[in-house]
Amino acid sequence: MIQRPRRLRGNAVLRKMVRETRVDKSSLVYPVFVREGEHIREEISTMPGQYRYSVDSLPYKLESLKKAGVDSVIFFGIPDKKDEEGSGAYAEDGIVQKALREARKQFGTELYLITDVCMCEYTSHGHCGVLCGHEVDNDPTLRLLSKTALSHVQAGADMVAPSDMMDGRVLAIRNELDAHGFANTPIMSYAVKYASGFYGPFRDAAGSAPSFGDRKSYQMDFHNRKEGIKEALMDVEEGADIVMVKPALAYQDMIREVADLVEIPVAAYSVSGEYAMVKAGAKLGFIEEERMIAEMAIGAYRAGASVYLTYFAEETARLMDAGIIG
């Protein structure tokens, strides 16, 4: 008799037993915005539930993350002053440097501290490097990025994450760190980073929208797949320890392709616009927030990410605790 193919059916215990994607909280990274000033916890209008913290109010947030089981953060700095060269990015008393020292002092090695390395929050024109005319000048920018990465590590960063997309920046940063005795400090590169409308709320949060033009000369065209693979392979060759795909939601094919191809961990960044979309939809009662968070997270992991950066890190951790995902 010809058997009819059948699918596995069963109760919740069985469904959990045979889950193909297993995740846990240690893979979560939470992005934190730090700004100058005191006693500040300022809500970001386009990202309800997300805040800019002054250094003194940072420990409360970090404590709550730790309690939820989220042990890794990535810092984004919002300086008071910007200039043409973005000198605040590598200043000894820069905002990220201060945040790192404070977090290290309060939490020792209990928190893993990552920093975003880029110039756009620090330049008066909002581009990711120094300009030559209206174009970002690649090689002079490498010097500034390397200086920034080194100053972050000297202030206590466990890992640096260049997000600028200049050519050769992973190698430049690797050489700079090695030359100063930080050969063991890993680099997570924003390798496959598309020019994306999903970054809108972030630029509002960090005040980093370009004052003219766009980032399309150094971020990738979202039509391109092979270009993404090339970027990932180049960064691996230059010495990246983790490669990231960003955004996550509309780019899960790229997460999968890169994860299949490279021998190092792949991170996915669920960016500000993904967060804002869920928040807005939920507020209007159009969607169920928790289920969206769960599916977006598992989508990224299922696609091959082993590190997941999300503004929903605490919520995701709670869903894992509750066994809804995990």
Asked if 319 is part of the footprint of ligand PBG (rule: CB under 6 A), the reply reads no
Cβ 114 to ligand PBG shortest distance, Å: 12
Cβ 51 to ligand PBG shortest distance, Å: 14
> Which stretch in 62-70, 199-207, 234-242, 288-296 sits in contact with ligand PBG by CB under 6 A?
199-207
- Cα–Cα distance measured from residue 322 to residue 195, given in angstroms and rounded to the nearest whole number: 36
Give the residue with the Cβ less far from ligand PBG, 216 or 283: 216
Residue whose beta carbon is closest to ligand PBG: 202
Asked if 75 is part of the footprint of ligand PBG (rule: CB under 6 A), the reply reads no
Active-site hit among 193, 216, 226, 230: 193
Cβ 272 to ligand PBG shortest distance, Å: 3
Give the residue with the Cβ less far from ligand PBG, 116 or 314: 116
Cβ 56 to ligand PBG shortest distance, Å: 24
- Cα–Cα distance measured from residue 190 to residue 309, given in angstroms and rounded to the nearest whole number: 12
Place of tokens 């696609």: 303
Tokens encoding 313: 């890190």
Give the residue with the Cβ less far from ligand PBG, 85 or 116: 116
In the annotation, is 193 catalytic?
yes
Asked if 202 is part of the footprint of ligand PBG (rule: CB under 6 A), the reply reads yes
Asked if 163 is part of the footprint of ligand PBG (rule: CB under 6 A), the reply reads yes
- Cα–Cα distance measured from residue 105 to residue 78, given in angstroms and rounded to the nearest whole number: 21
Contact flags string 249-288 toward ligand PBG, x per CB under 6 A: ----------------------xx----------------
Give the residue with the Cβ less far from ligand PBG, 68 or 78: 78
- Cα–Cα distance measured from residue 211 to residue 267, given in angstroms and rounded to the nearest whole number: 30
Give the residue with the Cβ less far from ligand PBG, 57 or 272: 272
Active-site hit among 25, 82, 246, 279: 246
- Cα–Cα distance measured from residue 309 to residue 170, given in angstroms and rounded to the nearest whole number: 20
Cβ 118 to ligand PBG shortest distance, Å: 4
In the annotation, is 246 catalytic?
yes
Contact flags string 99-138 toward ligand PBG, x per CB under 6 A: -----------------x-x-x-------x----------
Summarize as ranges the residues that interact with ligand PBG (CB under 6 A): 116, 118, 120, 128, 163, 199, 202-203, 215, 271-272
Tell me the catalytic residues: 193, 246
